[in-house]
Amino acid sequence: MSLRVSKTDNEAELAYWIGHPFWGHGFATEAAQTIVQFGFVGLQLNRIYAAAMTKNPASYKVMSKVGMKLKDTIPTHILKSGIYEDIVFYDLHKSDFRVVLHNFSVYMGTITILRGVI
């Protein structure tokens, strides 16, 4: 799970990878919710965006579950294993973000989750 921040644009790209044995357990969604909240609350970002190949609906389902909205689909956008793949782009603006975990704090650049999950 990563959040690649652009200080110039006050936004970040959310990216994640989950090993196959851990698919379907909600780990990506839970981690993404925490990272998105950190981006808006802790880093005061204006926008967080993410991309996924159209053949990976589980990935963009995570984006939807954390409140991101579909912005665009771009055909043959990246070359992967010799095949050009279509990409979907999702984003979420701070003005549309709703804090869902109240026991959240940022201390010296780290995230502390005090209780519960998002």
And the tokens for 3? Answer: 């959040």
Q: Say if 118 falls within a structural domain.
A: no
Print the domain residue range for 73: 2-113
Least confident of 41-55, 75-89, 92-106: 92-106
Q: Say if 20 falls within a structural domain.
A: yes
Q: Say if 58 falls within a structural domain.
A: yes
Q: Which amino acid is at 92?
A: L
Task: Indicate which CATH number applies to the domain containing 96.
Answer: 3.40.630.30
pTM: 0.80
Give the count of domains, the chain: 1
Angle between helices 57-65 and 27-37 (to 10 degrees): 40
50-89 pLDDT, tens digit per residue, is 999 999 999 999 999 999 999 999 999 999 999 999 999 9
Residue 89's nearest CA partner among 50, 58, 54, 62 is 50
